[in-house]
Amino acid sequence: MAEVVQLKAEARADNGRGASRALRRQGMVPAVIYGGSKANEYVFVDERFVRKQYERGGFSNRIVELQTNGVAVRVLPRDIQLHPVSDKPLHVDFQRLIPGQQIRIAVPVTFTGESEAPGLKRGGIVNVVRHEIDVLADADSIPDRIVINLAGLDINESIHISEIELPKGVRPALKRDFTVASITAPTAVREEALEAAARAAAASATPEADAAAAPAEGAAAAPAGDAKAAGAKEGDAKAKK
């Protein structure tokens, strides 16, 4: 299940630009809480907390329990606006988590079983097709990561989403059976294979070229033979005269 972190929030009555700038000067980040049947709530939170959680990575997969005026509400960070130069947090959108509600969310993948993958032992390379997987998950069982076991995987073999055991209450957002990762041959091996294929193609093309050239030579020789025959007939005609 996703990690739950605690954060104190304060309600703000004015959500205009001037008020937001004033909050930022005080080391606060304006935020909004939306979702469910309730109206949007405008709050502000500590900038240091937001920056720390964002720099850790996976901020949008981390459940935040906001304490606002003594009331706790669980939310999911959905969007964070950053300053284009300093990367300073400027605004955060939080979505309320309603028990029983399914949330679409991108969950990062991690890998295990590398030491038990024959393809990696032979020098293969893990080709990660999807670093995150879009899933539909219950609000109270959002996974913080999806673990993929590479054990038994050989070179040129892939692992698809249908082969991955997802946590209870979690299912892929996409219905097709897409590839998540594969093991590919090292670059040197691939280049050798391509060169060998090119040499084989060139060798197989040579006899065909010779065979194609033979009739052309015969065709060129035919007119010369006809000229000799014509000359012989002309000689016989003169002898008769």
Nearby residues of 177 by Cβ (< 8 Å), 6 or more positions away: 160, 161, 162
pLDDT score recorded for residue 168: 86
Lowest mean pLDDT segment, chosen from 29-33, 54-58, 176-180: 54-58
Please say whether the dihedral angle defined by the alpha carbons of residues 188, 192, 198 and 201, taken in this order, is positive or negative: negative
pLDDT score recorded for residue 212: 53
Q: In the structure encoding, which two tokens stand for residue 46, read together?
A: 């500590």
Residues 137-173 pLDDT 10s: 988 788 888 999 999 999 999 999 999 999 888 999 9
Cα–Cα distance for residue pair 49/27, rounded to 1 Å: 10
Cα–Cα distance for residue pair 174/76, rounded to 1 Å: 21
pLDDT score recorded for residue 227: 46
Cα–Cα distance for residue pair 66/41, rounded to 1 Å: 12
Would you kindly state where each structural domain of the chain is located, as residue ranges?
A: 4-98, 103-185
pLDDT score recorded for residue 221: 47
Q: In this predicted model, which residue has the larger pLDDT, 220 or 173?
A: 173
Looking at domain 103-185, its CATH superfamily turns out to be: Ribosomal protein L25, C-terminal domain (2.170.120.20)
Tell me the pLDDT band of 187, cut-offs 50, 70 and 90.
low
Least Cα distance to 32 among 69, 80, 85, 98 occurs for 80
Contact yes or no for 10/20 (Cβ under 8 A): no
Is residue 121 over pLDDT 70?
yes
Is residue 126 over pLDDT 90?
yes
In CATH, the architecture of 4-98 is Beta Barrel (2.40)
Nearby residues of 136 by Cβ (< 8 Å), 6 or more positions away: 102, 103, 104, 170, 171, 172, 173
Lowest mean pLDDT segment, chosen from 84-98, 141-155, 175-189: 175-189
Residue 79's Cβ-side half-sphere holds a number of Cα atoms within 13 Å equal to: 6
Provide the residue type at 217 as one letter.
E
Mean pLDDT for 195-216 is 65
